[in-house]
Structure 1
Amino acid sequence: MWALRRLPKPLKDTRISIGASYDASAQLQTSRHFIEETATTLGSCQTISDKGLSLLRFYLSKHASSDFPIRSCGLSSQAGAESSGEEDDLEDGFSELETPANAETKGDHNFKDETEDGLDSDEELSGDVEETTSNELELFEAVTDVHDKKASSRRTTSELFKAIISTTGISIFKVLDKWVEEGKSISRDEVSAANFNLRKRRMYGRALQLFEWLEMKKQLDFVGRDYASRVDLIAKVQGLQKAEDYIQTIPKSFRGEVIYRTLLANCVISNNLKKAESVFNKMRDLEFPITTFACNQLLLLYKKHDKKKIADVLLLMEKEDIKPSPFTYRILIDAKGLCNDIAGMDQIVETMKAEGFEPDIITQSILAKHYASAGFTEKAEEVLKALEGDDIKQNRWGCKFLLPLYAELGKADEVERIWKVCESKPRFEEYLAAVEAWGKLGQVEKSEAVFDRLLETSKKLPAKHYTKMLKVYSDHKMLQKGKDLVKRMADSGCQIGPLTWDALVKLYVEAGEVEKADTILQKACQSKEAKPMYTSFMAVMEQYAKRGDVHNTEKMFHRMRQAGYVARLRQFQTLVEAYRNAKAPAYGIRERMVADNIFPNKSLAAQLAKVDVFRRTSVSDLLE
């Protein structure tokens, strides 16, 4: 293959660069070799081999120069960052799980589970639940083995698990000590079942304490998957640095690929691009085999932050003969759709089918969503009909996808039809899908009716159920109803967290009360359990920028840094916009960007040029 023959050296020696110089990166931005403008949509397919189409081909434009610099595999986390604006629209999808600002100062056992009853809480912080779930499932596969899975499938619960969740205190060590004193078993099956159930309920703090106690008391002979599970839990509860530190204490014989694969996945969950690339390089240095799972992790990050670098990962997979999985194809399909490259998206689907993979329900829903947003209504309806199958009652699992997708198309009759299938006995996810769907259609009363039914199903619902209704109120600028709903949440004893803060901040922003939104955000920042979402800060910051309020825009920029969010291109774009609207020069802004390893794309370069005209010169001083 021509792309591979052009490689100047074996790809195994290539590292993922995270320290590209400003000049080199700027050249990459303007180089004719990079696909820009229409090529930002990542080009169209070009048939090169009679034996089959390489997945890589779909990410090379047929108009691109034959010396497209993919051969250098310079996967710098700065060069070409955020090639288009769509990435930032997804910030609430899979990105707001960065290491808490206070993670390093927490005590080893100062954990707070999401909810006392183990339900998913407001702290899940994931809007794109299906993508997150898929990645978490792959990660769970990575840290378990057949023995664990069989034990978990045989036992949906365990006495050990019941004992662990029975305590209301912070530490479960006394419960475990008592368990042993009573002569009860600490078998691997018992531990596996307890771990499975704790993870299923996202009670990561207690799961971590279980493994800490097992290792400290030497109640279980740890093997590779046990250490990997603990790395995963430390990353989730205490942050990436603590997880990395723990890896150094693992016996070298068990410090294998699965350990670093687990850390890599958590870097992705934390949306930490630099750390992810660093861990990937470490795996190469240690000569671990590069797996489909590891490549998928990079693809997930690059899909959001730098789509141009997706081609580099595909080239690596091609060179190392790493076969794409269905999840790989799903990521690529979504990347194409986000760039509005519907033809390219269709070609990826055809390649997927040619490789023997049929799009699953999640992939079909992604296709339908992108068809709808691009105006391909007939194609979207075709996918939705295929998703329904011959009998939607038999394919009930598809309803939670169909409801919001039909609403996206403005098909109120179809939403009504699907909801009637669920109405007699809706599942939780169907309730939420219906609330969202009626909200999209502007029928707020129907959203409220569905939500009121949902409230009747349980005495205590997780906060994320409320935030779905809160978002509807926010979208329709119904401030008073939003306030009343938050009061109901508090009265019900609901745990208020980042998702609720985000919905509330946006509610006030949409109502034009930016200062109130800022106050809520400031109070949220004082929470010691979790930090506000990235999108919450940006919602307020962008409103200040529109006003030309440089002081408050800069304040939000600083508070994001204090909260632990690394600087991104979008923040600087918003900051420069504030200076432009204020007709004020942005002195030192370029130097600040270089210090944060942020390099301007075309859009930001144009913004910078506009604020440069406001600089004071000797001539302007004379004329005043």
Structure 2
Amino acid sequence: MYLEYSSTKKREALKLERGLARVQGPPFHHCYTVSPASQPPMWALRRASVSLTLRSRGFNVGASCVKLAPTCCVEEESGINESREITYGGFLLPKTCFHSGYNSSLNFTVGKRALSSSSTKKEDDLEDGFSELETPASDGNESDNLLTSDAELSDDDGKENVAKEKEKTRRGRVESKLFNEIVNGPGNSVHSALEKWLEEGNELTREEVSLAMLSLRKRKMFGRALQLSEWLESKKEFEFIERDYASRLDLIAKARGLHKAEVYIETIPESCSREVMYRTLLANCVSQNNVKKAEEVFSKMKEFDLPVTVYTCNQLLLLYKRNDKKKIADVLLLMENENIKPSSLTYSILIDTKGQSKDIDGMDQIVDRMKAEGIEPDIKTQAVLARHYISAGLQDKAETLLKEMEGENFKQNRWLCRILLPLYANLGKEDEVGRIWKVCETNPRYEECLSAIEAWGKLNKLDEAEEVFEMMIKKWKLSSKTCSVLLKVYANHKMLMKGKDLIKRMGNSGCRIGPLTWDAIVKLYVQAGEVEKADSVLQKAAQQTQLKPIFSTYLTILEQYAKRGDIHNTEKIFYRMKQAEYPSKPKMYQVLMNAYINAKVPAYGIRDRLRADSVFPNRTLANQLVQVDGFRSNPVSDLLD
């Protein structure tokens, strides 16, 4: 499906772009006659994205006057007001027409202004998965989800979280008795727990159900939350309203998959808003990183003539930031044409994209534009900025930003500790990590302890990391989430025996092993050079449970086999990733072709495989395809012929 414009609109856009290109301000390294503040905000963001595209293609955009080829972009969404859970209200879609294309991907094409598909190795090697920007924002006091990766699904069934829930209750939060009843009930049957709740004479109010549902969602216990929703509807305890249907749709997508959610959406009463339902479905497509399905949902929204909003665009930006950065410019162009104003999250996504591409100047330009529009970077965005400064070796700049984040009343903002601890550790600031941990040490909170273990591990202070771990066990008992953090520390230091001892300890204490722990165990064995053992562990884990391993877990093993030139095992892991229904990505094929290159063996039929998976070769893939082409000619073969 392609978004197209009339030839008249193309010509008008080209004229506008060429005219503005001659008067762009300093943030975009052009000959300029107007101040940055006077530039159109969407245009400025598009020019910044153009700079990113040029850098990825090997161009050096310096301070001198440069004539850029016409291209387009923009960005947007508020991480404060719009959670990645179900958000209600203004989620509408464009009135521009779509039609099916070669690969059903969402290509916003504007005549000859379509962006190049090439990219650099830096861009290609970016870590797959979700970044800090893609999680719900801070609540202003203490954000429980701040800087937590989507990939970090809890391995535990939630029972050990009851203690943490009680601790939060002491800090002024309401405890759900119904949630405790569900979690502590026999087996996984929510129905029996609810029947028991009523038999004991408890009243089942909407407030109590809402509180229990929130707790279940927060613990990622989506299956039980779905059982609760289904029981309520079957027993007709409450009259279902639009919000209840949207919640059920969201839970089905999370617990049973996108296809089941699509089937369910057809059964929802017509009185419910289509925009809320499709917005919920789109958010889940993005959350599950399913590009094809997200674009199909976007096209479906167009069929219903739903106008586009900043939320929709931000979802697409998040999706393409992970999978296809060249399409970011197209989304931004769509926003400009629909007159959609960027939100805080839009800017944050662009900042992170620039930082990932090592374009620090471009990242700072986006920050300047953000501030010029009256939007100050929140703590999450500042943390991402600091991380990219550290990665770029700009330690002074990063430290200045961290001090700014602390503010004057740091001790009153305890929730900042868990963010600052790993960042100061990345800077190698042992004194600062010790200073911040001292604020928490007398009465530590769960997430602060996890950050402290990670921070001490980065500083090679294993005794301190283990000391925090033992303190956590005494306070909250042993859990797989706590163990996985320490396991990663052991993996980074190639301490296989300590890691094995911890795994045995987990087994003896009855910890539930899940994706987080699998990932830590796999990396533990890989770092120790035991790739086959890591492969075996992951295969057994995937067979024993219906839980899906993290993408990066498979990728870690895939890369190790590829480095060896072990084509058989590389193809085996590649096949398992396809079986696990991970969307095909250029990164997967790059690693696969590395196996053939290292083995010095041609990869017959690889172009057909790329075509079948709708993977368009970027620059790195194109170069690899030449190397693995079994039919290419060379001077020696020509002489022999």
Classify 1:415/1:304 alpha carbon distance in 2 versus 1 (closer, same or farther; 3 Å).
Answer: same
Aligned positions of 1:159-558 closer than 5 A: 159-177=177-195, 179=197, 185-461=203-479, 463-558=480-575
* Structure 1 spans left out of the alignment, 5+ residues: 12-32, 34-41, 98-111, 121-152
Task: Return the letter of the residue paired with 1:364.
Answer: Q
**Aligned equivalents of 1:515, 1:155: Cα separation in 2:** 47
> Who is 2:55 aligned against?
none
**Which amino acid in structure 2 is aligned with residue 541 of structure 1?**
L
Percent identity between the two aligned chains: 55
* More off after superposition, 64-73 vs 84-93: 64-73
In the alignment, residue 119 of structure 1 is paired with which amino acid? Answer: N
2:48–2:366 contact (8 Å) kept in structure 1: yes
Aligned residues: CA RMSD? 3.5
Residues 191-228 of structure 1: CA distance to partner in whole angstroms, max 9, x if unpaired? 32222232233322221111111222222211111100
Name the residue aligned to 1:117: 159
Native 8 Å contact 1:81 1:306 kept in 2: no
1:232-284 CA distance string (max 9 Å, x none): 11111111111111101111221421111111111111111111111122122
Q: Secondary structure at 1:314's aligned position in 2? A: helix
Identify which of 116, 124, 128 aligns with 1:91: 128
Please give the alpha-carbon distance, in whole angstroms, between the structure 1 residues aligned to 2:457 and 2:181.
42
Q: CA deviation at 1:118?
A: 6.4
- Show the counterpart of 1:80: 117
- TM-score normalised by L of structure 2: 0.77
Contact 1:44/1:60, CA 8 A, preserved across alignment = no
Deviation at 1:566, TM superposition (A): 2.8
Q: CA deviation at 1:485?
A: 1.2
Cα deviation, 1:95-154, whole Å, max 9, x if unaligned, reads 9x9xxxxxxxxxxxxxx994141639xxxxxxxxxxxxxxxxxxxxxxxxxxxxxxxx99
Q: Please give the alpha-carbon distance, in whole angstroms, between the structure 2 residues aligned to 1:482 and 1:60.
A: 46
Counting matched residue pairs gives 544
Name the counterpart of 1:129.
none
Give CA deviations for 1:488-514 in whole Å, capped at 9, x if unaligned.
Answer: 111221110111111111111111111
Q: How far off is 1:176 after superposition?
A: 3.0
Cα distance 1:291–1:391, how it changes in 2: closer, same or farther (>3 A)?
A: same
Per-residue CA deviation, residues 456-513 of structure 1 (Å, 9 max, x unaligned), is: 212242x122111111111111111111111111122111011111111111111111
- Mapped to 2, the partners of 1:181 and 1:443 lie a distance apart of 54
Code of the residue aligned with 1:277 in structure 2: it is E
Distance in 1 of aligned mates of 2:362 and 2:123: 17
Matches of 1:573 and 1:334, distance apart in 2:
23
Closer, same or farther: CA 165–439 of 1 in aligned 2, 3 Å: closer
Quote the residue 2:22 is aligned against: none
Question: Does the 8 Å contact 1:118/1:201 carry over to 2?
Answer: no
Equivalent position of 1:67 in the other structure: 70
Name the amino acid aligned to 1:318.
E
CA distance in 2, matches of 1:405, 1:433: 10
Q: Kindly indicate whether the alpha-carbon contact (under 8 Å) linking 2:46 and 2:73 is maintained by their aligned counterparts in 1.
A: no
2:618 alignment counterpart: 601
The Cα of 1:88 is off from its aligned counterpart by 4.9
Aligned-partner Cα distance in 2 for 1:414–1:575: 42
**Change beyond 3 A, Cα 1:195–1:44:** farther
Contact 2:155-2:517 at 8 Å conserved across structures: no
In 1, Cα distance between equivalents of 2:461 and 2:50: 44
* Alignment-mate amino acid for residue 506 of structure 1: K
Letter of the structure 2 residue corresponding to residue 176 of structure 1: L
List runs of 5+ in structure 2 lacking aligned partners: 11-17, 19-26, 52-60, 75-95, 99-104, 109-114, 135-153, 163-170
The answer for the alignment partner of 1:147 in structure 2 is none
Structure 1 stretch displaced more, 559-568 or 547-556: 559-568
Residues 474 and 506 of structure 1 are in contact (CA less than 8 Å); yes or no, is this contact kept in structure 2?
A: yes
TM-score where L is the length of structure 1: 0.79
